[in-house]
Amino acid sequence: MLDSKGLLRVCGRLDYASLDTGEKTPVIIPGKSHIAVLLVRHHHEKVAHQGRYLTEGAVRSAGFWITGGKRLINSVIHNCARCRRLRRPVKTQKTSDLPPCSVTAFAPFTYVDTFGPWSILTRKTRGGASNSKRWAILFFVYIPKKYT
């Protein structure tokens, strides 16, 4: 039906429902129009990138019926940079092989490994805090097989 402003609206059997006029008779918007894309983007950001169902519900509760809306909402979500970043697969870190000194037998304390520094808060001062650096030392110890 055409309303008093000349907008094409969906007619249904919800005349006696306790809903807003926009939800009873939503405005029909072609899915291939730029206005439909802008509406979907707006409501997708409004529902905080929650997905297709909540975006579709937000568009419909705002009083709009987009033809081919599910397909349009899926394409907007697929092209959304934030959604792509949040829904990408978790990356795993590739570990390298151990160095030869860590996998060969050697005499005690032959190899020493140091790592650091870390900045550590050592004490509170009147002007703020005093930081100092700390390092760690790792001694590789060889234990013969007869003791293990």
Percent of the chain whose pLDDT exceeds 90:
36
Task: Write down the domain spans for the chain.
Answer: 21-86, 100-147
Least confidently predicted of 16-20, 35-39, 88-92, 135-139:
16-20
Report if pTM > 0.95.
Answer: no
User: Residue 15: its pLDDT value, please?
Assistant: 75
User: Residue 25: its pLDDT value, please?
Assistant: 83
Tokens representing 52?
Answer: 């297709």
Strand partners, 118: 134
User: Residue 69: its pLDDT value, please?
Assistant: 93
